[in-house]
Amino acid sequence: MGGSQSAPTRKISIPNEESQFIKISESVAERLKKCTEKSPEEMLKKPKEECEPTEMQTNVRDKHLNPDCDALINYYYGPSLTSIRILQEKEKELKESEEYWNRRIRSMENHHAKLNQIMENEYNKAVVEISCQTPRPPPDAPFPCCDQKNKLIQCYKKNPKEILLCAGEVTQFADCVHAKRINADKAKGCET
């Protein structure tokens, strides 16, 4: 009981679909084979009707290469126009994406600033409302109901184990505090 595992562990393997080789079409593979199979002399003896020589092909012929290998020449001498175009498109997409996210960030910052302002206004309203409900006396104001407070303290000291005997003093003190609060609210202009 508990000494052995309840189920054997499972192993899951995911094949890596990304190969480290460049995939090419069959036509490109055939052209590459033609390049490697023919000797430089055979490449120079190619009939004219098979392919009309262009400026680039004559340069290639001078270098003893097959005109079918233009793709290889472009690879060695720099990127083709399509790859430059693709690169430009990708850069354009990246720029548009960056602009989009910058706009989103700015709009989120504006939204948060508005929310912050609303919350600050609500907070200030709540502070004013609370200050009306629970007014704070000035620091130099005397404590209200000092006589009732002193009577209540004396009663508690006389009857430390029988505090219910001080119920009358507690009621008098509470009534006094309530009356002072009502008077302070009326003086301040707040509703009770």
pTM reported for the whole predicted model? 0.32
Of 134, 144, 135, the closest CA to residue 180 belongs to: 144
In a domain, 170, yes or no: yes
Residue 174 within a domain = yes
pLDDT for the residue numbered 139: 76
Instruction: Give tens-digit pLDDT for 127-179.
Output: 888 887 776 667 787 788 889 999 999 999 999 999 899 999 999 999 999 99
Q: From CA 5, how far away is CA 167, in angstroms rounded?
A: 70
At residue 75, the pLDDT reads 52
Count up the domains in the chain and report the number.
3
Burial 71-101 (b: 16+ CB within 10 A, else e): ebbeeeeeeeeeeeeeeeeeeeeeeeeeeee
CB distance 72 to 60 below 8 Å: no
pLDDT confidence of residue 175: 95
User: How crowded is residue 67: how many other Cβ atoms within 10 Å of its Cβ?
Assistant: 19
Residues 125, 95: one domain? yes
Q: Is residue 9 domain-resident?
A: no
Query: Has residue 49 been placed in a domain?
Result: yes
Within-domain flag for 22: no
Clarify whether residues 96 and 118 are in a common domain.
yes
pLDDT for the residue 60: 46
Residue 24: per-residue pLDDT: 79
- Alpha-carbon separation of residue 154 from 47, 82, 158, 170, 171 (angstroms): 128, 100, 6, 12, 15
Per-residue pLDDT of the chain (192 residues; tens, 9 = 90+): 556 666 667 776 666 566 666 777 888 888 888 877 766 566 555 544 444 555 544 554 455 445 555 555 555 555 667 888 899 999 999 999 999 999 999 999 999 999 999 999 999 999 888 887 776 667 787 788 889 999 999 999 999 999 899 999 999 999 999 998 888 777 766 654
CA distance 34 to 66: 8
Cβ-based neighbours of 191, under 8 Å, separated by 6 or more = 132, 185
Q: Flag whether 17 is in a domain.
A: no
- Residue 171 included in any domain: yes
Tell me whether residue 58 is in a domain.
Answer: yes
* pLDDT at residue number 171: 95
Domain that holds residue 69: 31-77
DSSP-derived 3-state class of residue 16: coil
